Chains A and B, each alone.
Chain A
Amino acid sequence: MSIVKQAKGFWASIVLAIVFSVVVQLLINGGQLNAFYVNTLFLIGINIILAVSLHLIIGITGQFSIGHAGFLAVGAYASAIITMKLQLPFGLALLVGGLAAAVAGLIIGIPSLRLKGDYLAIATLGFGEIVRIIFLNINYVGGASGMQVSHLTTWPWLIGCVIFSILVIVNFTNSTHGRACISIRENEIAADAMGINTTYYKVTAFAIGAFFAGIAGTLYAHNFYIIQPTNFGFLKSFDILIFVVLGGLGSMSGAVIAAILLTIISTYLQDYPETRMIIYSLVLIVMMLYRPQGLMGTKEITSLFKGRKSVKGGVQDESKHTVA
């Protein structure tokens, strides 16, 4: 696959994305899309950002993190403070939300360097819970009753952030830096032996992933009028995890498709939360039993249109099997 071709595809998809955003904006303005659809669309956008940001950490770098809601919470609260307490503009809130979450990503990323596999998973889960408990105990942000947030998330901001996050993560993945991350996922010892600074790339993946989760948090907070610590429990983390697992660990388009599908399904099931969770859990179990590689396996959607292409994907490590 030549680099020129890659660049062409890149610009083509950008143009396509812009056309799509403009069309949706016109439909919103014209009133063809009612509030229900607009709301679903916003949810899908936020979930796509969450899915691709976690995809970078789990799918690409192979660091099994199940505390993603913690980063979401940091972004949501940090941005809400910017707009609600300090009365600063929303654009700045996005930036601060992202950066605050990135700092949290660094904080969790650094200790995680010493942990692997399920130990890391548990540590990140613990981190997510700690974040939630911290917000629960800070009166400045409302404690358990939470914080009122104005509705500032608009379609241009939303779709802009979605495109931006996909673009950054795709460009990162398809470069020597992304390959360095994949090599860590594939075989950390070999990556290290090939001169890859594994520490640096693991922390970087956490920081970038957290940054976008923080942006998603900002959009989330300014879409729902209120944020409370209970919104960011580990059920939220599992929701995000399911996007990545269902889509196929290592496939970004898979994560995006899963985020879209599951958001639509859960919108229709929102009056039956138990049913939704039962379906989610059954899907997880059945998926792991019969198709552990997820919907897309390790492939990207682009490879379906090409004869042959080097695809990046698939978490697997021969040393991480359960004993059998």
Chain B
Amino acid sequence: MKLHYEVAGDDFTRAGEASGAVKATLKRLGFPADVIRRVAIAMYEGEINMVIHADGGVADVEIEPDRILVTLTDRGPGIPDVEKAMQEGFSTAPENVRNLGFGAGMGLPNIKRYTDDLKIDTEIGKGTCIRMTINVPS
């Protein structure tokens, strides 16, 4: 099954709609609760990143019996230092975002924590594509 979502930029009230919809779909399909939680959290972090840093983007989800693949693509500014961005606590989020409770520098680290495979393709001035895989234990 393939799903596609548009993630609106600069709209924190709508962030989480795509990951919420995916969560509901996985629940309906009978995936284990732990897998659903991992997909939902990793995808929400990715959505929030696109809202904060990239003025939105698109989310594509491929659901297979043995794995869930989430691809998030944006046309944002790119990540200058991926290694740094992967460190817990490192954040470039602005003050207004921090006041909402985000910007703790946990986005990418959380995505890594909750996925079995994470690939980040980023180019300055062009955008970022994040591919995450969550395996379904047999």
Determine if chain A interacts with chain B: no
Interface residues of A (CB under 8 A from B): none
Interface residues of B (CB under 8 A from A): none
